[in-house]
Amino acid sequence: MKKVFALLLLLPLLFSIQLVSPVIKEISENETVYIGKIGPGQTIAVEVYPKVFKGGKLGNGGNYDYAYAWALPYKWKSTPSKVYGNPLQVSLTSPPDAAEGNYTIEIDVEDEGNGELLGVFRFFVVVEITHNNLGLSVSPQKQTVGIDQPAVFTITIENKVDSGDIFIVSSEGVPGWEFSKPIYVPPRSNKSISYEIVYGEEELFAGKIYAQSKSSSVVRQEAGFAVDVHSDFISDCKAVNRGAILFSPFEGLVYALAGIFGSLL
């Protein structure tokens, strides 16, 4: 009887398991599944539904209890699922200096102590590493403003891959207006922030905006911008429409008319 039982454990499992994230797919034992792109140092989670509806003691299925990664590629890390989790989640983290390419990782799903006679369900996931996972843009690229009037830029960060990440966004080039700010961007999405500069003297600035993944210095982008601060009638008219400033009653009337004129330019 023991020999028969041992033989049964060696036979391929004749049922499937449900992969629920990052892709939804019913998979068979030993199947290989492509699960998406991430950047160096980023993490992707593999989630499986613990319940199966075939096999086990009575042939009508049961529940798997935990899952883990096996035989990881060099310098990769993983976090096994919680016991009795629902879903069972295994996290996979690539090294910060990971080279571009496809990496295959074994995932094992186990019935604790084989208590329900489900055996070990084994499958493989393919994770693609890309260094082209960050987009950065600044709009507009140049602003002409009056003295003490705000120049407002929109900075947009694009996360091109299947893992959320924190990007450190920073600036340089305009004295007194440098900043550094962490921005979380979910998978396959964009996030925009405003960057405002006010300067009290005539000056032409050429600045830079940088975005770098907190997970890896390999993932980094930069974009240029320019601010032309000077005083003339046309720029003052346009500047009035960008921000509120205080005037005497007579000046207020003049600048109100200037603002109307500026909106027509």
Read off the pLDDT of residues 208-253 as tens digits, 9 standing for 90 and up.
999 999 999 999 999 999 999 987 665 555 555 555 444 444 444 5
Tell me the average pLDDT across 18-29.
95
Q: pLDDT band for position 9 (50/70/90)?
A: very low
Terminal-to-terminal C-alpha distance of the chain: 91
pLDDT, greater one: 113 or 217:
217
Give Cα 95 distance to the centre of its chain: 16
pLDDT, greater one: 237 or 127:
127
Tell me the average pLDDT across 167-175.
96
- Sequence-separated (6 or more) residues with CB below 8 Å from residue 22: 35, 36, 44, 45, 46, 47, 162, 187
Q: 37, 35, 55: which is closest to 46 by C-alpha?
A: 35
- Sequence-separated (6 or more) residues with CB below 8 Å from residue 197: 150, 151, 153, 174, 177, 205, 227
Q: Which domains does the chain have, with CATH numbers?
A: 2-129 (2.60.40), 134-231 (2.60.40.10), 232-265 (no CATH)
Tell me the average pLDDT across 115-128.
92
48-87 pLDDT per residue, tens:
999 998 876 767 778 999 999 998 999 999 999 999 999 9
Angle between helices 233-240 and 249-263 (to 10 degrees): 90
Q: What is the pLDDT of residue 117?
A: 83
